[in-house]
Amino acid sequence: MSVGFLAVSVGIFLGIGAYTFLYAEGLSYLSDDPEVCVNCHIMQPQYDSWQKSSHHAVAVCVDCHLPHDFVGKYIAKADNGWHHSKGFTLQNFHEPIMIKEPNARILQDNCLACHEDLAHDLVVGVNGPADEVRCVHCHVTVGHGDTTGLGGPE
């Protein structure tokens, strides 16, 4: 058993791994381009409806769905990226897709990031009481129009 053989095996692994990463457009996930979010097609209705929504001109996906500070942003990207790729590969996620609590908190923060001057008398951000009404409770259509969705497989 030679170390040469081992080196070849590891090389093959790294090669296939690198190709898979490129083929799956892994680098694109480092960008802010909304089209990246429809790479895997599940988000197509969300993407389509965002294009018709009132916020289309002023915000892309990451403006509302990721924290604005560098570290927080990449932690959230990694966390969501792991969940999304696991779900899409294993095809075992809840449908219709619904936002989960940590992401809902990020969303609320981002509403305030732009609209704070208008809203500071009404809400105090995610550090407020847990049952505080969130912006999208009423303004549900601003990001994605009326409704979007796509049922899951059998």
- Record the tokens describing residue 8, joined without a space: 């070849």
The reply on whether position 127 binds other proteins by CB under 8 A is no
Instruction: Please report how close the Cβ of residue 153 comes to other proteins at its closest, in angstroms.
Output: 5
Backbone angles phi and psi of 97, in degrees to 5: -60, 135
The token pair that represents 61 in the structure block: 């996906």
Q: How far apart are CA 46 and CA 84, in angstroms?
A: 15
Which residue, 122 or 140, has its beta carbon nearer to other proteins?
A: 140
**Do the Cβ atoms of 60 and 34 come closer than 8 Å?**
yes
- Compute the radius of gyration of the chain from its Cα atoms: 20
- Binding status of residue 42 toward other proteins by CB under 8 A: yes
* Minimum CB distance to other proteins, residue 139 (Å): 14
What's the token pair of residue 113? 């990031």
Indicate whether 138 belongs to the interface with other proteins (CB under 8 A): no
Site string for other proteins, 69-98 (x = CB under 8 A): -------------------xx-x---xx-x
Task: Output the smallest distance, CB 36 to other proteins, in A.
Answer: 15
Identify whether the C-beta of residue 107 lies closer than 8 Å to the C-beta of residue 95.
Answer: no
Residues of this chain that bind other proteins (CB under 8 A): 1-3, 5-6, 9-10, 12-13, 16-17, 19-20, 23-24, 40-42, 88-89, 91, 95-96, 98, 140, 147-154
